[in-house]
Amino acid sequence: MRKKITVVGSGNVGATLAHRLADKQLGDLVLIDILEGIPQGKGLDLLESGPIEGYDVKIKGTNSYADTANSDLVVITAGFPRKPGMSRDDLLKANFDVVKATTEQVVKQSPESILIVVTNPLDAMAQTAFKVSGFSKNRVIGMAGVLDTARYRTFIAEALNVSVQDVQGLVLGGHGDTMVPVPSYTTVAGIPIADLMPKEQLDKIIARTAKGGGEIVNLLKTGSAYYAPSAAVAQMVDAIFNDRKKVLPCAAYLEGEYGIKGLFVGVPVKLGKCGIEQIVEIKLTEAEKAALMKSAAAVKELVDIIGV
């Protein structure tokens, strides 16, 4: 029996994600939105692509959570997008209400599902979904690190004129300006980045990575990134549904790991059929540890404001 995936929000991220999931035939899809006609139209358009693209999954657009019942996995992309000059933190209170209401519906219709949260500010919204759902911590995951790491790897590959496939790296911490690219775990075909690039150049790339989402917002003027974010979620869904035990940086609820307790923060996790199957603790340099604690403190500020 095929898996069932619900994508909440049929904007650019949600619709592009539905397209990617259909292409990979990871499950039957439900695209839900409060806007009448939009999810139905996009869902039908995607369904009609199947004979050409060769995917064979059911795709339904809806405004009713009843159609999402018994989903195996739910991705929350719904919320207000960032606008030029707006930080992720500005979105906090508006999107808290959206994620809270969405999570309540998900629990009612799909109490056994795994939740992936994409709505910004990411870490605080993942914590909201976790607290509201009452789900075990392995079943609520924030998508951030996969995206931030992809940006980091892209910029390094560009700078060195090498294949992006050869660049390995990690970006930890909160999904915002305090995110933490980790130079000590950054390599190109196994060669440490410090052997290939001066620190000053890498520092510029790290700064650009932290502002990667904002760079795209400023270019688009009326929207935010969606190709890379949807690709990041699709990789996570693939790792879970195919039980790949893939180690990816994701926002996870920490209970003492890395010296952080009671917060969603981006760390390496093992993703498999149960969701987060292990939080992988790695040795960080003192500077990296300090940056991670600073990032966690920034997440805590947001969490305290909304009381989750």
pLDDT 10s digits, 222-247: 889 999 999 999 999 999 999 999 99
**Which of 77, 39, 34, 11 lies closest to 222, judged by CA?**
11
- 224 burial type by CB count under 10 A (0-12 exposed, 13-18 middle, 19+ buried): buried
Cα distance between the two ends of the chain: 37
Is there a contact between 254 and 260 (Cβ–Cβ < 8 Å)?
A: yes
pLDDT, tens only, 52-80: 999 999 999 999 999 999 999 999 999 98
Mean pLDDT in residue range 20-31: 98
User: Which residue's entry shows tokens 């993942």?
Assistant: 126
Report the pLDDT value the prediction gives residue 227, as an integer from 0 to 100: 98
Q: Are residues 32 and 39 in contact, defined by beta-carbon separation less than 8 angstroms?
A: yes
> For residue 305, what are its two tokens?
């404001």
CA distance 62 to 242: 27
Determine the Cα angle at 120 with ends 149 and 143, to 5°.
Answer: 40
Residues 5-23, mean pLDDT to the nearest whole number: 98
Q: What is the pLDDT of residue 85?
A: 72
pTM for the full predicted model: 0.96
Half-sphere exposure of 256 (CA within 13 A, CB side): 0
In the DSSP assignment, the letter for residue 253 is E
- Angle at CA 97, nearest 5°, toward 237 and 15? 35
Tell me the domain boundaries of the chain: 4-142, 145-306
Task: With cut-offs at 50, 70 and 90, classify the pLDDT of residue 86.
Answer: low
Mean pLDDT of 30-43: 98
Which token pair is 128? 């909201």
Q: Which residues are catalytic?
A: 175
Domain 4-142 homologous superfamily, CATH: NAD(P)-binding Rossmann-like Domain (3.40.50.720)
| Cβ-proximal residues to 304 (8 Å cutoff; 6+ apart), any chain | none
- Cβ neighbours for 218, distance < 8 A, ≥ 6 positions apart: 84
Residue 88 in this model has a pLDDT that exceeds 70: no
| Residue % of the chain over a pLDDT of 90 | 93
Kindly report the number of other CB atoms within 10 A of residue 193's CB atom. 22
pLDDT class of 81 with cuts at 50, 70, 90: confident
User: Quick one: pLDDT at residue 240?
Assistant: 98
d(CA 138, CA 225): 27
By the 8 A CB rule, do 95 and 121 touch?
Answer: yes
Q: Write down the number of H helices and E strands in the chain.
A: 10, 14
The yes-or-no verdict on residue 7 having pLDDT over 80 is yes
pLDDT of residue 265: 98
Fold of 145-306: L-2-Hydroxyisocaproate Dehydrogenase; Chain A, domain 2 (3.90.110)
Q: Which residue has the tokens 């607290």?
A: 131
In contact, 150 and 161? CB cutoff 8 Å: no
Q: Is the confidence at residue 89, as pLDDT, over 90?
A: no
Q: How many CB atoms lie within 10 A of CB 243?
A: 12
For the stretch 170-198, pLDDT in tens is 999 999 889 999 999 999 999 999 999 99
Question: Tokens in use for 73?
Answer: 């996995």
Per-residue pLDDT tens for 232-288?
999 999 999 999 999 999 999 999 999 999 999 999 999 999 999 999 999 999 999
pLDDT the model gives residue 82: 67
Beta-strand pair 261-272/4-8: unpaired
Confidence of residue 37 (pLDDT cuts 50, 70, 90): very high
Going through the chain in order, the beta strands assigned E by DSSP cover 4-8, 28-32, 59-62, 73-76, 114-117, 140-142, 167-168, 171-172, 180-181, 187-188, 191-192, 246-255, 261-272, 275-279
- The answer to whether the beta carbons of residues 27 and 57 sit under 8 Å apart is yes
Tell me the pLDDT tens digit for each residue of 140-168.
999 999 999 999 999 999 999 999 999 99
